[in-house]
């Protein structure tokens, strides 16, 4: 008798469990079978996007390596890494004693040339008067005139030499060509720099207001990306902030890494929300393709297709009902329903057990 009671208890428990499971399918709350659930058709704003990983980069001209055009010993360095500088600000000073001496030599040479020219001009003036009285030969007159012209040319050359010497002296004072932040200091006080074919770098300046994003778009998506499309992106540093940008260029040359083909899509940053973005920050990029506003939409996994067309299963009372639908725009998670469903209809999402 005890054994029979245990068997009856097991049978009752099993039938109760079976009843609960079927009841869950019928009420539309738990879905229909393994992996199924219900969700109402509701009005949404849909947008399709291309998702890509990117990196923040300086624009062309926004990163400048400032160097020296003359050789010498670094005498003073007025900035360090992280300093903000303005365009035209003095960054460094080289030892200028040798070049200053050359300037003085050029000034003395110019004074000498001017004196020679003044004397030659006076000689020419006297020769003209003698020639008017026919007291000097034409040959002598031509020689005196030539001497005046030669000294005039020497004055011009001396002036050019002085200007060149002053320019070289000016190169010992190094100024910021752009405003920005000092990203790197490559030379320290006391070091000797040798200017040759390549100017030695003193500091690197980056204008943090002129940054852009390089998004690496997969080859399967690049055909849908166009210049002018709106972009939303985030960076790890400001994970809760969504920045806005615009596609400005798509580079034709592919970049292949680990057998994956990507195309660099250049994105101009339109709204930085006052945040300080920095080069090489990793960005998660969403390129917005199309959008639909205030449309009835259902999850993509609720849409089903067979030879008769497109349909969904709607949970009604204790049964599921097939309804044929006509769909429109398809986003990443939801699909627009143009015809066949009313707002609030609960559709079954996921796999349904038969």
Cβ atoms of 99 and 70 within 8 Å: the answer is yes
**Structural contact between residues 324 and 310, judged by C-beta atoms closer than 8 angstroms:** yes
283: β partners: 54, 235
When the candidates are 1.10.10.10, 3.90.180.10, 3.50.50.60, 2.40.50.100, the CATH number that belongs to 63-95+172-206 is: 2.40.50.100
pLDDT tens across the length of the chain (354 residues): 343 333 333 333 333 332 222 333 333 444 444 467 899 999 998 877 888 999 999 999 899 999 888 888 999 999 999 999 999 999 999 999 999 999 999 999 999 999 999 999 999 999 988 888 888 888 988 999 999 999 999 999 999 999 999 999 999 999 999 999 999 998 888 888 877 656 678 899 999 989 999 999 999 889 889 999 999 999 999 988 999 999 999 999 999 988 889 999 999 999 888 888 999 999 999 998 877 889 999 999 999 999 999 999 999 887 889 999 999 887 778 899 999 999 999 999 988 765
Q: What is the pTM of this model?
A: 0.63
Domain ranges in the chain are 50-60+208-292, 63-95+172-206, 97-170
The DSSP secondary-structure symbol of 79 reads -
- How many Cβ atoms from other residues are within 10 Å of residue 131's Cβ? 15
Which 3-state string (H, E, C) describes 105-170?
HHHHHHHHHHHHHHHHHHHHHHHHHHHHCCCCCHHHHHHHHHHHHHHHHHHHHHHHHHHHHHHHHH
Measured distance between the N- and C-terminal CA atoms of the chain, rounded to whole angstroms: 40
Instruction: Tell which residue, 30, 18, 41, has the closest CA to residue 318.
Output: 30
Domain 50-60+208-292 has CATH 2.40.30.170: yes
CATH 1.10.287 describes domain 97-170: yes
Which of 344, 315, 305, 300 has the alpha carbon at shortest distance from 28? 315
Q: Is 234 helix (H, G, I), strand (E, B) or coil?
A: strand
């Amino acid at each position: 008798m005890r054994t029979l009671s245990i068997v009856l208890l097991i049978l009752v428990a099993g039938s109760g469990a079976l009843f609960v499971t079927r009841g869950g399918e019928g009420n539309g709350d738990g879905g229909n079978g393994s992996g199924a659930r219900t969700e109402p058709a509701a009005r949404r704003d849909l947008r399709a996007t291309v998702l890509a990983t990117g990196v923040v980069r300086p624009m062309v001209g926004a990163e400048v390596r400032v160097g020296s055009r003359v050789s010498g010993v670094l005498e003073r360095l007025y900035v360090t890494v992280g300093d903000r500088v303005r365009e035209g600000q003095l960054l460094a000073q080289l030892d200028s004693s040798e070049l200053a001496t050359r300037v003085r030599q050029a000034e003395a040479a110019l004074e000498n040339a001017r004196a020679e020219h003044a004397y030659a001009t006076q000689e020419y003036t006297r020769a003209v008067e003698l020639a008017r009285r026919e007291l000097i030969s034409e040959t002598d007159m031509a020689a005196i005139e030539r001497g005046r012209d030669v000294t005039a040319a020497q004055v011009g050359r001396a002036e050019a030499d002085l200007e060149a010497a002053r320019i070289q002296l000016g190169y010992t004072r190094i100024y910021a060509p752009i405003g920005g932040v000092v990203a790197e200091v490559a030379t320290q006080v006391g070091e000797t720099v040798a200017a040759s074919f390549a100017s030695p770098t003193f500091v690197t300046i980056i204008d943090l207001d002129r940054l852009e994003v390089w998004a690496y778009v997969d080859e399967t998506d690049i055909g849908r990306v166009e210049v002018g499309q709106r972009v939303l992106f985030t960076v790890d540093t400001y994970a809760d902030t969504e920045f806005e940008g615009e596609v400005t260029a798509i580079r034709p040359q592919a970049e292949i890494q680990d057998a994956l083909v990507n195309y660099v899509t250049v994105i101009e940053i339109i709204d930085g929300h006052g945040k300080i973005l920095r080069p090489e920050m990793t960005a998660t990029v969403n390129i917005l393709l199309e959008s639909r506003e205030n449309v009835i939409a259902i999850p993509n996994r609720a849409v089903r297709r067979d030879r008769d067309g497109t349909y969904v299963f709607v949970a009604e009372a204790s049964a599921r009902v097939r309804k044929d639908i006509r769909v429109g725009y398809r986003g990443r998670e939801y699909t627009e329903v143009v015809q066949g469903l009313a707002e609030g209809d609960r559709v079954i999402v996921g796999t349904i057990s038969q």
